């Protein structure tokens, strides 16, 4: 027989305290009430996630726990690393773009040992484009996304080596984790929304669907343990 638990304190709620007609369940431990249909749906989702997490993480995604001996605290770490094959098409274009535009504008000045202000200013957009192209190629080949979560405090990093974007956030048992699979014109990602917090925290952009679902399940499990 399936059991249901109070969303506030986690205590088991006996069947006699559940009124299906009014969609209300009363917790005998804390006295709180909740919507039975929502609790039942959450329980089904939790069972599905438990079965998902029983399997190994999908390809390109790793999940591990680190224990800090100083305070016996556990840190959940998720790492996603995948070589984007699009890079092998972008690299030749980047070489042609950078060599042709930057080499032609600035290389000629260096070769002639002369400086042309107007020509140099004209080349700035091409220089910026070259930097972006090179950065994208490096990320496609060597980029990684890392999430560290400990006691409701999270640090998310996306980049190459020590260079990239870092996001710090806090979550609690009320935090909702939503997964958005990639669609036309949009990339898959996870979104964390905490009541009272300003805005949403966006994590793991561009993951494969199976990796996205697994990462979302890990986050929900860690949040339930808070």
Q: What is the CATH number of the domain that holds 215?
A: 2.30.29
Residue 181: per-residue pLDDT: 63
Is the confidence at residue 108, as pLDDT, over 90? no
- Residues 31, 66: Cα–Cα separation, whole Å: 37
Given 121, 140, 159, the domain boundary residue is 140
Is the confidence at residue 44, as pLDDT, over 90? no
Residue 32: per-residue pLDDT: 87
Q: Which domain holds residue 91?
A: 87-140
Mean pLDDT of the 165-172 span: 93
Residue 182: per-residue pLDDT: 54
- Spatial strand order of the sheet with 176-180 comes to 176-180, 189-193, 201-203
Q: How many CB atoms lie within 10 A of CB 180?
A: 15
Question: Among residues of the chain, what percentage have pLDDT more than 90?
Answer: 32
Same domain for 96 and 127? yes
Same domain for 41 and 117? no
Region of poorest pLDDT, from 91-95, 105-109, 203-207: 105-109
Mean pLDDT of the 119-127 span: 79
Region of poorest pLDDT, from 64-68, 117-121, 166-170: 117-121
What's the whole-number average pLDDT of the chain?
85
- Residues 113, 80: Cα–Cα separation, whole Å: 47
- Residues 44, 3: Cα–Cα separation, whole Å: 11
- Residues 137, 151: Cα–Cα separation, whole Å: 35
In the chain, where does DSSP find H-type helix? Answer: 36-53, 87-97, 108-112, 117-122, 124-142, 209-224
Position 46 confidence tier, pLDDT thresholds 50, 70, 90: confident
Given 98, 113, 140, the domain boundary residue is 140
Domain count, the chain: 3
Given 105, 123, 140, the domain boundary residue is 140
Same domain for 157 and 225? yes
Same domain for 221 and 129? no
Same domain for 154 and 221? yes
Note whether 166 and 156 are within 8 A (CB).
Answer: yes
Same domain for 174 and 127? no
The strand pairing partners of 60, in sequence order, are: none
Same domain for 46 and 65? no
Same domain for 117 and 153? no
Same domain for 1 and 43? yes
Mean pLDDT of the 47-64 span: 88
Same domain for 50 and 63? no
Mean pLDDT of the 57-62 span: 93
Position 114 confidence tier, pLDDT thresholds 50, 70, 90: confident
Residue 186: per-residue pLDDT: 54
More confident call, 103 vs 159 = 159
Question: Among residues of the chain, what percentage have pLDDT more than 70?
Answer: 93
Residue 187: per-residue pLDDT: 65
Same domain for 114 and 211? no
Is the confidence at residue 159, as pLDDT, over 90? yes
Q: Which sign, positive or negative, has the C-alpha torsion 19, 42, 200, 197?
A: positive
**Residue 201 CA, distance from chain mean position:** 9
Same domain for 35 and 73? no
> Among the ranges 38-42, 104-108, 130-134, 182-186, which has the highest mean pLDDT value?
130-134
């Amino acid at each position: 027989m399936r059991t249901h638990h109070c969303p506030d304190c986690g205590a088991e709620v006996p069947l006699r305290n559940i009124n299906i007609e009014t969609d209300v369940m009363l917790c005998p431990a804390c006295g709180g009430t909740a919507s039975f249909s929502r609790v039942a749906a959450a329980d089904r989702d939790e069972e599905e996630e438990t079965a998902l997490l029983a399997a190994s993480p999908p390809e390109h995604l790793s999940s591990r726990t680190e224990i800090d001996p100083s305070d016996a605290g556990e840190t959940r770490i998720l790492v996603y690393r995948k070589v984007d094959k699009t890079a092998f098409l972008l690299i030749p274009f980047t070489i042609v773009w950078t060599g042709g535009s930057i080499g032609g504008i600035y290389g000629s000045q260096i070769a002639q040992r002369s400086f042309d202000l107007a020509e140099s200013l004209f080349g700035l957009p091409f220089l910026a484009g070259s930097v972006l192209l090179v950065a994208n190629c490096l990320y496609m080949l060597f980029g990684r996304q890392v999430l560290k979560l400990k006691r409701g405090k999270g640090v998310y990093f996306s980049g190459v080596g020590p260079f990239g974007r870092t996001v710090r956030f806090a979550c609690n048992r009320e935090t909702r984790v939503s997964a958005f699979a990639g669609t036309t014109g949009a990339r898959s990602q996870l979104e964390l929304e905490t009541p009272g917090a300003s805005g949403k925290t966006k994590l793991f952009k561009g993951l494969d669907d199976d990796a996205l679902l697994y990462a979302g399940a890990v986050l929900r499990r860690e949040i339930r343990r808070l």
